Each structure stands twice: as structure tokens, then as C-alpha cells.
Structure 1
């Protein structure tokens, strides 16, 4: 057994922490010097590119082999562009276009953006197969509902990122696309036979393994046939037998945030969750977003205690730390390929727009954006047509609190464009749309996951497959409402 400092350094080498603010606090740097594997950056750490570059430089000064991770999926999940919305469409739009070369170029561009500010691990792409229209957490983050299509784009995304010199982390194994619950808030259950997982959810993971992804993130979901009552993050059958044994993955298994209810409640806390994840076969533990020095020390103490009392095997933790160190070595040795800056994201978003019905006679309408809450994964990122409109009047309303007759009066004879996300499940959304469309010219712009619902009586139904800045611009252009 190593000396106490050796145990501490070993435990730290399996942890991905986080910190508040745009400048790393002293404790975040001190922990890196002691062996902490790295930090994840969130929107609250991002003000502007020069500031992010200075932040990552400070982290790298503390530990040259630091892992600096971020959730930069494009589309609805962005950290670098959280103040404006991403200039790239997300996976659903790329899947709708179905040009795998385009997907590779978009992800290569995202990788270039990350490299420019010193980030070396992207917690992307999301490769879940979104088979549930009411999935509250995946939706437009997925390339689609067809396993073959998702697999092709997943591999292209990994290639694009990693040729830019940024390690890809495909997520969420063994597949979060069939859930109708959010693992940030509870433990979702996917109660299906393992064979259905192999046919429906697992092909994209086989594809990213073949493409050489450096990391794969676990899902805090329960699959009774594999995991019993536990989440996949704590399941040796999922992480060791399935991912490593059957699919041959040799890279880093990275957990989704252990502060999420899907893991923390099941384990009885973040520290116990860290121990269970390591024992199951995880290598790098994402503690979460709300992290301070005290929490990191609690997790280290729990891992250290588990090594002493036999809950954790020393060789397992050494293996995890070695894999994490190998990932850091890969990021330092990567020879990135640069791509010329283009208007790639907006061009891709335009290709994804689908119009059902007719936009003739739209003229200068009243644009009405229907409020929808953001998921924890998305955060509060601006969305809609607003930044791109050519002076066209726009209102923001809550669907369930809005009187259709008041909107008709406000429109004063103008057509109405209703803009929403996941309108089919927005409280009051379907009723408001169909009430207006019964006696008024209405066009709907759906910027969320497109379900099979189509409102009766609307003149046109426009689908963007996402709500990024690029998607909003593409929709405004399709409606001829840009300057």
C-alpha cells in the first residue's frame, strides 16, 4: 500500500472537478499541483475567448498534463457561446441533413474553437438514439432516432473533434435516448431486454469505439436486465463486461456528473458514488458543477477510506489513474489539423430547415415566441428568431397564460408566426396554436425535437431541429424576416 501522500495523489488522479468564476481560485490550482486530473468548465467560467484562454493557461501552469473539459455539443448545449447561443446547429439538425462529411467538418470546427482557448476534452458528441419523443433531456442533442444514422454521424463527430486535437467523449453509455425522465433529477429506467439495447442503443457506441474515441461517458440510467436496481455508472456488467469486454473499448470511462440525482441518491452521496463508480470500472469521475475544495476533499477521503477498508482494490484505482494520465498524454501529443474559418454553422443550419405547407403571403407577421424552460444540460441560453429579425414585431408569452383573442387583436390582421420548442408537450401550446389557427393565418416554427404532432389549420409548419443561434438565423431566413 502506498504512503498516505501516494494514496491521495492516486485518488486525485481520478477526479474531474470544477470551480466558480472566470479566474481559477487558489484551491483549484493547488489541487492540480497535488495531482488532480483536471477541471470541467461551465458557462459561469466563460466570459470571452481571451479570458477562457487565460483561465486554461493558468490551469496548465499548475499542472501541464491537466485535463480541461467542457460540454460544447453545438446546438442547444454550448458553454463557449452561452451568452448568445451556438453558431453551430446541433446533432438533430446534422442528422436531418444526413451529410456525414458535414458533421465531421462541423465538429472539426468546434474542435478548432476549443483548441484556440486551451480546452482539450470535449464532453461530446451525444450519441444516444432518441427514440422517445418526450425525452426531456436528450431530444435535439441526438442525431436522430435511427441507430444506423446516429452511428454514422457519431463516428464522424469523433473524427472531426480528434483531428482538431481535442479528445472526444461520446455519451451516454449504454444509451439515454429511450428515457422519459431526466437523470439530473431522478434515476430513469429503461426496462428492455439486452438484445433490444444491442439493436437500438448500442450501435453508435460500437461506431465511436471503432472511430477511436478517447473517452466514453456513462449514463445514470437503470437498465434492470443489466444493472439491477443501480444506475449503469455503478454497474460492472455495463462498464467492464459490456463496454470493455464485448465492445473492446480501451480508453477512459468517464462518469456523468456524480452530483446528479440519478447517481447521488442511488449511492447515498457524491463520495460513496465515486467509490462505487471506480469499483464498477470507471476511470475519471466528473464530480459535477457545484464543486468547492471541501467537496473534493470529501471525495478524496472517501476513496482513501475505501482503499483501506477493502471496498476498493488498489490495482483498480491505479488502472483508472493510468488511463486518465494516458488521456492527458494524448492531448499533449496531439497534432491538430486546422480548418479555415467559414460560415459553416449557419450554412449547415439552413440545410436542416424543413417547411411543410406554404410560406406565401407571410409578409410582415407578428412573431410570438412561446416560453419554454431550459434543461439543466442546456442552461439559460438565448434562443428564438429575435436577434435575426429585420424589425418585425416580436412578443414573448407563456402559452398557458395567453388569450388567443388578445393575440389576434395585437396582430391586427397580420399573420402570426408562433415559435416554440417541443410544442407538442408545452403546457397550453397545442391548444393555443390550434385555437389561433382556426380563424387566423398561423405559421409554426418548431425549434425543439420534432414529434409527429402537426396542428390542425396552420398555413405552414417549419422545423429547425434545434434552437441555437445558427438555427434561429436559418429559420428567420426561411421566413424572409432577416435584414
Structure 2
């Protein structure tokens, strides 16, 4: 018995795939023509604006209302500027500034840039309340640790993106900010009563629903009080009872990447994860970054098998595909805005810099950047003061492998500016900074999440609330190095 082409098209209408390289391969465009909801662009798909515009045009040739998604959060998570770093500060910096009108303008500018390139769905903003200083995956992607502040900025970001004609996708429901594990690698646990979530994690989602956000992304986190042993992505209690029933969300529920271990391991593979997510109430299934035609076909086959054996009702898949189509229809009817001033992000980043201590006497310093690994969400994007230093000497070292005496000898009579990300949890950083500051003038620049940690003996502690290109320039200017 042959495959029902109508059913195959229906299933494809729930999938957000991806492909390797800067040019969409034939299979990627062919699947769009067959009904695939869309593709997500990652850094490997982005070389320059002209190439991205050609990419989106090629995908639209498959079907005019194809969804073309990207993770363009600003700050530390950028795909368009992955080669240089984003010209916009991220959410932590905007939250620290506290100007929701600025937050709206920055996200409207990001949206205008995306719209001009033919990108229609931004998998942003991150609206998680970063309540755990040691959170390894949210951090500066969050507007802050205060639910009220995060809610206000989350709504402003959504309004800005959508004013530009790009659908926003707020993430990660019901809140990834309290985790100390990365769901790319494992299934994080948030073991608190539901009432704690209502006070701490859920207010920003209520705010974006009120702001008419078009999509919300699920979190691959386990909240036993709601999800039992599985992740929120597979939980009807989370996606249907809480998000739709209690919070009244009527837009598209988008999964975080199903290839992530927080979902795939829990389900026994990407295909089974897709079935469980659909059954739980998800509408648009983000397969992940490492996708080829074979993987898409395996996912389609798994969903078709679930429809055949009763694990999944056809009405549920029709509902999901309908919501994905409605998202595409909203985008086609949305308006647009003119490009923003090119200095907008840099001016914003300057407003976010905070200085504790004294910044005098920094002529000809030795700049020491401490190596910090990137998360999968961030990717390998340049960061630091390097591009903004002119002829100021910079060295890059691993904190746990560096001798403070050797650095002092290299500095000689010059002061040291030590630059890092998440220094409070970087192995060896505290010992190195303390040893240097005991015998040498040291200024610390923290470009990660600003925890309470402050090293003893330093002359100044500078916080940028992010490590984008804009944040780096703002820090260099504050230090008088530009």
C-alpha cells in the first residue's frame, strides 16, 4: 500500500529542518515544495548579506510562504554576525540599562535586518529569568534575575521584532533560567513546586502572550511537579494545560532542537522525540542543526507510523500544521520598518557598562584575555577587547595553566587588564586574579554573567553584561583604550 501524499504533506507541514552549507541543496528546496514548513539558518549557512538574501530567495522559490528561521538574539548569540560578533548588546545589557523603549528599538532593528534578508521567524527573545548564577546556557541571554524586569523587557523585545514584520519566538517555556545544566548535553532538572514557577519563571511568558507573541519555544527541562520523568517538550500538562489553558496562548508552539540530548535521549531518538512532542501539543518541530534529507525522512516516517498505529491522532497533526501555516500567514500580512541607525547597538552597549573602582593610570596596559569555552547556543564567535585595541598588546591564556609571575614579568611596569567571561566559575580564574592583584595593578573586565564574585585587591571591576562586538568596543572605550 503506497504512502498517502496528502498525509505526507501534512506531516511535513509541522517540521522545521536545516541543511549544511551556504547554498540550499536541491533536497532542501524540494522538501519545501512538498510542504515542509521551513528551515532554520545557522552560522554555517551564513557568509554575507548578499548570500543570505540569495538563500532565502532560493527557499521561497520552493514555496512562497516557507518559514525561514534563525537564532538572532543579539549579544552573545548571533548567526548573521558569527564571524565578528554582534553589533548589538544582548538581553542582559538591555536589562541592566532598564530602558524598555531602547529594548524595543534594538529588537526592532534586529527584526528589520532579518526582514530585509528574507528571514521571517526569529527564535528569540530569550525570556528566561536567570535566577542561577551558574546557569551554563542562559546567562547573558537573559534580561536579568528579576521576573518583573524580565517580563517588561520581554514584551518590549517581542513588540520590536514583530513591528519589523518578523515573528518572534519567546523561549524557553516554562523557564530555563534556574538550571545548572545545559539541555544540549543532558536533561536539566528544576525540582520546585509549580507555585515557584508562577512567581519566578512564568511572568515573562504571561507578558509575551499579552504582547501577542506569535510563537513560543519549549524547554528540554524536567520539572517533576509538571512533567514527571520527561522534559517539558513532551508534557501536555505544560504545553496544553498551562501554556494554552491557563495563559491563553493561541500561537505556534515550537520545540527546541529535537536533536539535543535533553529531548533525543529521553525519547530514544529524534524521530520518537518528534512524535512525543506532537502528541504533547507542539506545532512546529525544530529538528536541529545537523540535518540532511535522510534524517528528515526518518522523522516523517516515524510520525506516519505513529499515525498508523494510533500513538498520534490525525487531528492533532492537522492542528499543528494549521498553526504553523497560520504563523506563515501572519508573516505575509505583517508590515515593515526602515533600517535603524548603524550606531544604535554600540550606543546601547556604552550605557550598559558598569565600573566599580578607579580606571585611571591605564596607559599602555597589557591586556590578558582568559580563554572561556562557548556553549552550543553561542557557537564559536569572536569576543573580547582585541578588535578594539589598536596597538595595545594583548595575550590570550588559559587561567588554570598560567603562572601569575610569568604574566607580571611580561607586563613589566605596565598595568594589567584581565578580560574574561563568567570568571566566578572559570577554573583557575580566582587564584590567578588574586595572585596578580596582590603584587600588580590589575583591572578586571567581566563580559559574562555578572555574579556577586569580586576578586580581592583589584583596582577596578568593569561589567559589560555581554561579550558582543558592541560590548567589547564599549569596554575598550570605558578603559580609554580606543
- Would you call these one fold, judging by a TM-score over 0.5? yes
Match of 2:458 in 1: 458
Match of 2:249 in 1: 249
> CA-to-partner distance for each residue in 1:396-444, whole Å, 9 max, x for gaps?
0011111000000000110000000000110111110000000100000
1:122-137 superposed matches below 5 A: 122-137=122-137
Distance 1:148 1:399 in 2: 36
SS of 1:131 mapped into structure 2: coil
SS of 2:245 mapped into structure 1: helix
Deviates more, 1:419-428 or 1:336-345: 336-345
Deviates more, 1:285-294 or 1:341-350: 341-350
Contact 2:113/2:339 (<8 A) preserved: no
1:299-448 superposed matches below 5 A: 299-448=299-448
Distance 1:351 1:304 in 2: 53
Cα drift, residue 342 of structure 1? 3.3
Cα drift, residue 335 of structure 1? 1.2
Aligned residues: 481
Match of 1:284 in 2: 284
Match of 1:147 in 2: 147
Match of 2:183 in 1: 183
1:160 matches 2:182: no
1:13 matches 2:44: no
Match of 1:218 in 2: 218
Distance 1:185 1:478 in 2: 37
Distance 1:361 1:288 in 2: 49
Match of 1:274 in 2: 274
Which consecutive segments of 4 or more residues in structure 1 shift more than 3 A? none
Cα drift, residue 468 of structure 1? 0.2
Distance 1:134 1:286 in 2: 27
Cα drift, residue 22 of structure 1? 0.4
> CA-to-partner distance for each residue in 1:111-130, whole Å, 9 max, x for gaps?
01101111000000000000
Distance 1:29 1:312 in 2: 28
Distance 2:47 2:223 in 1: 39
Cα drift, residue 138 of structure 1? 0.1
Cα drift, residue 362 of structure 1? 1.4
Distance 1:165 1:341 in 2: 18
Match of 1:480 in 2: 480
TM-score normalised by L of structure 1 = 0.99
Cα drift, residue 340 of structure 1? 3.8
Match of 2:51 in 1: 51
Distance 1:251 1:237 in 2: 17
| RMSD (Å), alpha carbons | 0.8
Distance 1:62 1:339 in 2: 28
SS of 1:20 mapped into structure 2: coil
Distance 2:270 2:463 in 1: 40
Distance 1:147 1:364 in 2: 42
Distance 1:124 1:330 in 2: 17
Cα drift, residue 154 of structure 1? 0.1
Cα drift, residue 260 of structure 1? 0.1
Cα drift, residue 332 of structure 1? 1.0
SS of 1:111 mapped into structure 2: helix
Structure 2 gap segments, 5+ residues each? none
